[in-house]
Amino acid sequence: MNSQIQTAAGFIARLLANPALKSYTPLQKEEQILQFLNANSAQLMPTLRSPQFFSGLPDHEITSLLITALTNTIDTEIPAFLDLILDRRVNFDFISFMTQRADSSAQSRDQVRKLVETMLSRPESRRALTGPLAAVYYGMSKKYLDELFQRRGYTHFELTKVQRLRMGREHVQAMLDVNIILKPAIYSVSGSEGGQSSYSSGLVQPAFAETARSLLLKRLPAVPDSVVASSVHANMSFVEHPSVEATARLASVFSARARGYQPNQRVDRGADTPDKSWFSVARRNYKFYGFDVKILDELYSVAAELLW
Amino acid sequence: MDSPRTSRLVGILENIVLVAIVLVVIQSFVEDLAELLDWSWGLRRNVLYAAFALDLFFSVEFLTRFYAAFVRGSARRYMQHERGWIDLVASIPLLLFASGPQLAAIATGGAAIVGVGRTLNLLKIIKAIRIARVLRLLRALKLFRNIKHTDSVITQNHVARLASLLVTTFVAVLMFFSLVDIVANLPGFERSFRERTLTIAGTIAEQGLADSSSESALRSFVAYEQSILVVRESGHTRFARYPNEVFSRQFGPGDYTWIRSGSVEVFVSLRPVFRNQSRDSLIYLLVIVSIIGVLLFLYAPFFCMTVSDPAYVMTRGMREAGYNLQVSLNEDGGDDEMTALARSYNEEFLPLKARNAEENAASDLTLDSLGDLLDPS
């Protein structure tokens, strides 16, 4: 059995070394390989059943071995990746600013990290973290908020006048990043403490969101209620619930955008840039995903003008 | 399946062909410029050797390609769809009817081909052959694939078809009028030159200009008739426009003709006719180079932008699950069929694909990208 585990680990290591995955985050790599194994199992299995790989093992055991090896390998990269995200990419100082307590930033960071580690231990929430962590890793919120604040358009108005965020752009951006990270936290309360999840559609109803919010607040006592609420509301449809906060709407868009984000994607001649293409398609599908189409319009304009 | 060594060899040969194509374009211009700029015979002879060498090279290349296609059973495909007909038209006929006879004329001193005293009758045929040389420029179409914006197959085919039709039509019209000119003996520079030249010897003989007593009258006459090179009477030279070393340096066989009337012999330069033909030929070359240049650098990018690039993006989007870039459309673009298709692709297909992708997510990894990972070791 040990040799088969080693074979699986070796096989996965070779897959992970593929240049096509080089610039992805660990969870994106994991998702790419899972999708690859899923899509190509019919072609791969005859070879994987052969003596030089997993001789005599049934297909489902081979798959299980490979997935375990993949998860174990990615898990070795996760601590450093989380250090990078939570210590360097996100500045939790905005929480001290909101709560007026100096120690709440560090406490919040530790609690968020603990929650993320819990989410990573469950397959469903682990999958859901791919997009949000990628969004923070690639600095999506900073990239766009800088522009949106400069333009002072619809999104800026929604953030500062409607949501009434009385803090600087850096703090808003940090809050947005935390919203993005905590958006899939709804998975960590579904099914157990949170009762039956309505998450199969990708969107939740207000009643479920309210339960999730109160459960999450118990796990994240140092994080302000408004931050947790905005994170949970990022899973609600703005089309059906126009009161959803602007930060939640942005978190929802950026999480979705980053899930399949390919850094350094080559733009073919005659094609639009990746972000412009994505926002354009999202504008068509805004009802399906519950996005705020006006925010998408503004992000589309930014991407189109700056060739992102 | 070709071995890497074979592929490398083919690559080297293809590059040699490309260099030869560039050279043939340069050679075509230099040949006419040499005539216009009055280059020495030695230089012009080298240019003619180069023309022969290039025509021979392209004839061998055509025969090789045709033989290879024939062996593969794809001779018809090569001739029709892979521009084999251009290879044919721009090689063997030129070798047989243009550069080959020129080389033979040089080798035989000109007599074997043109015939002493009959040269004037052949001036229009020489003109027609000169026009046919323009066909060499069709080869420039082969440079398409190496130029930006023309790396798509449909662009190459479309632009090459258009260019070859335009150039061939242009050359065919010129050739047709040349043939009509030969048959109907239409008025023109060659005809008036011929008629005037044929009377020169008779005029000199009748008026006794070659007599030793009429030296000043002869000088006046040759000053008026600049094409007269030498006047001889009963074997004695009465007039020579240049010293002998100039004649041998500047004139080759075929550059002059010889006319006799009684005891009077006159050597007449044909260079004015050739210069006139070279000027016309240079204009034809420039017209064709301009047509090809406009097609390559203006029309091909336009075709790419409006047809092949959108088609490429849409094809990738439909074939590859993870490819979600939309076709770039000009906001105030037209309503042609391709724009309408691209708009449907952007506004209907991609959004639908994005929704389906929630269930059927794609990976950037492919079986092909695994390399030897699955190979038994």
The answer to whether B365 contacts A31, with C-beta atoms less than 8 Å apart, is no
Q: Which residues pair with B268 in a beta bridge?
A: B228, B257
Q: Which residues of B touch A288 (CB under 8 A)?
A: 355
> B232, B235, B207: which is closest to B221 by C-alpha?
B207
Distance CA B376, CA B369 (A): 16
φ, ψ of residue B261 to 5 degrees: the values are -140, 105
3-state secondary structure of B366: coil
> B81, B62, B40, B63: which is closest to B135 by C-alpha?
B62
Q: DSSP states of A11-74 as a string?
A: HHHHHHT-GGGTTS-HHHHHHHHHHHHHHHHHHHHHHHTSTTS-TT--HHHHHHHHHHHHHHHH
Q: Which residues of B touch A260 (CB under 8 A)?
A: 322, 324, 357, 361
Give start and end residues of each alpha helix (H) in A121-204. 123-137, 140-151, 154-157, 169-182, 186-189
Strand-pair category, B256-261 with B236-240: unpaired
> A16 pLDDT exceeds 90?
yes
**pLDDT tens digit sequence for A53-78:** 888 889 999 999 999 999 999 999 99
B255 alpha carbon, distance to own chain's centre: 23
Cβ contacts of B187 within 8 Å, gap of 6 or more = none
Q: Which residues pair with B232 in a beta bridge?
A: B237, B265
| Partner residue opposite B369 with nearest CB, options A18, A202, A265 | A18
| Partner residue opposite B355 with nearest CB, options A20, A44, A285 | A285
Mean pLDDT of chain A: 92
| Partner residue opposite B313 with nearest CB, options A36, A40, A268 | A268
Provide the shortest C-alpha distance from residue B341 to chain A (in Å): 14
Q: Which residues of A touch B350 (CB under 8 A)?
A: 277, 280-281, 284
Question: Which pLDDT score, from 0 to 100, does residue A110 have?
Answer: 96
Q: Where are the domains of chain B?
A: 189-274, 320-358
Which two tokens mark B32?
């006419």
Tell me which residues of chain B have a C-beta less than 8 Å from any C-beta of chain A: 149, 304-305, 308-310, 312-313, 316, 322, 324-328, 346-347, 350-351, 354-355, 357-358, 361-367, 369-370, 373-374, 376-377
Number of continuous H segments (helices) and E segments (strands) in chain B? 17, 4
Return the amino acid letter for B55.
D
Q: Which residues of B touch A278 (CB under 8 A)?
A: 324
Q: How far is CA B186 from CA A122, B29, B180, B194, in A?
A: 94, 27, 8, 12
State the pLDDT confidence band at A196, using cuts at 50, 70 and 90. very low
Q: Which residues of A touch B328 (CB under 8 A)?
A: 270-272
Q: Which residues of B touch A52 (CB under 8 A)?
A: 376-377
Distance CA A184, CA A177 (A): 13
Return the amino acid letter for B369.
S
The answer to whether B309 contacts A280, with C-beta atoms less than 8 Å apart, is no
Q: Which residues of A touch B308 (CB under 8 A)?
A: 270
Lookup result for tokens 């520079």? B189
The answer to whether A268 contacts B365, with C-beta atoms less than 8 Å apart, is no
Give start and end residues of each alpha helix (H) in B185-260. 189-206, 215-224, 244-250
Lookup result for tokens 């230089």? B43
> A195 pLDDT exceeds 60?
no
The answer to whether B309 contacts A15, with C-beta atoms less than 8 Å apart, is no
Provide the shortest C-alpha distance from residue B360 to chain A (in Å): 9
CB A261 within 8 A of CB A134: yes
Distance CA A198, CA A196 (A): 7
Q: Which residues of B touch A33 (CB under 8 A)?
A: 363, 365
The answer to whether A270 contacts B304, with C-beta atoms less than 8 Å apart, is yes
Q: Is A181 exposed, middle or buried (0-12, 13-18, 19+ CB in 10 A)?
A: buried
* Percent of chain A whose pLDDT exceeds 90: 78
φ, ψ of residue B230 to 5 degrees: the values are -140, 140
Provide the shortest C-alpha distance from residue B363 to chain A (in Å): 5
Q: Is A189 exposed, middle or buried (0-12, 13-18, 19+ CB in 10 A)?
A: buried
Query: In this predicted structure, which of A204-208, A275-279, B145-149, B165-169 has the lowest mean pLDDT?
Result: B145-149
| Partner residue opposite B351 with nearest CB, options A32, A273, A281 | A281
> A255 pLDDT exceeds 90?
yes
Which two tokens mark B329?
């459309």
pLDDT (tens, 9 = 90+) of chain B, 377 residues, equals 567 778 888 888 888 988 998 898 899 899 999 999 999 999 999 999 999 999 999 999 999 999 999 999 999 999 887 778 888 888 898 888 888 888 888 887 754 344 444 566 667 777 777 777 777 777 776 666 556 565 688 888 888 888 888 888 988 898 888 888 888 888 888 888 888 888 888 899 898 888 878 888 999 999 999 999 999 988 899 999 999 999 999 998 888 888 888 889 999 999 998 899 899 989 998 998 898 889 888 998 899 999 999 999 999 999 988 899 999 998 776 788 999 999 999 999 999 999 887 666 667 777 777 766 666 55
Q: Which residues pair with B259 in a beta bridge?
A: B266
Size of interface A-B (CB pairs under 8 A): 99
DSSP structure class, residue B233: E
The answer to whether A271 contacts B322, with C-beta atoms less than 8 Å apart, is no
What is the complex's ipTM, to 2 decimals? 0.88
Q: Which residues of B touch A276 (CB under 8 A)?
A: 326
> B206, B63, B83: which is closest to B144 by C-alpha?
B83
| Partner residue opposite A267 with nearest CB, options B304, B325, B376 | B325
Provide the shortest C-alpha distance from residue B353 to chain A (in Å): 10
Which two tokens mark A35?
């999708």
Which two tokens mark A131?
């997009």
Q: Is B334 exposed, middle or buried (0-12, 13-18, 19+ CB in 10 A)?
A: exposed
Question: Which pLDDT score, from 0 to 100, does residue A29 have?
Answer: 94
Q: How far is CA B136 from CA A207, B59, B147, in A?
A: 80, 12, 19
Report the residue of chain B nearest A42, measured CA to CA. B367
| Partner residue opposite A271 with nearest CB, options B326, B365, B367 | B326
Q: Which residues of B touch A273 (CB under 8 A)?
A: 325
Q: Going along B208-337, which residue ranges are E strands?
A: 228-233, 236-240, 256-261, 264-269
> A231 pLDDT exceeds 60?
yes
Provide the shortest C-alpha distance from residue A96 to chain B (in Å): 38
The answer to whether B350 contacts A277, with C-beta atoms less than 8 Å apart, is yes
Return the amino acid letter for A191.
G
The answer to whether A268 contacts B324, with C-beta atoms less than 8 Å apart, is no
Report the residue of chain B nearest A41, measured CA to CA. B367
State the pLDDT confidence band at A260, using cuts at 50, 70 and 90. confident
The tally of CA atoms less than 13 A away on the side-chain side of residue A44 is 24
State the pLDDT confidence band at A234, using cuts at 50, 70 and 90. very high
**pLDDT tens digit sequence for A137-184:** 999 999 999 999 999 999 999 999 999 999 999 999 999 999 999 999
The answer to whether A18 contacts B365, with C-beta atoms less than 8 Å apart, is yes
Question: Which pLDDT score, from 0 to 100, does residue B348 have?
Answer: 96
Cβ contacts of B249 within 8 Å, gap of 6 or more = B40, B41, B42
Provide the shortest C-alpha distance from residue B49 to chain A (in Å): 44
3-state secondary structure of B267: strand
Report the residue of chain A nearest B323, measured CA to CA. A274
Cβ contacts of B251 within 8 Å, gap of 6 or more = B41, B229, B269, B271
The answer to whether A270 contacts B328, with C-beta atoms less than 8 Å apart, is yes
| Partner residue opposite A33 with nearest CB, options B351, B354, B365 | B365
The answer to whether A272 contacts B363, with C-beta atoms less than 8 Å apart, is no
- Which residue of B302, B305, B363 to mutate against A (max A Cβ within 10 Å)? B363
CB A85 within 8 A of CB A113: no
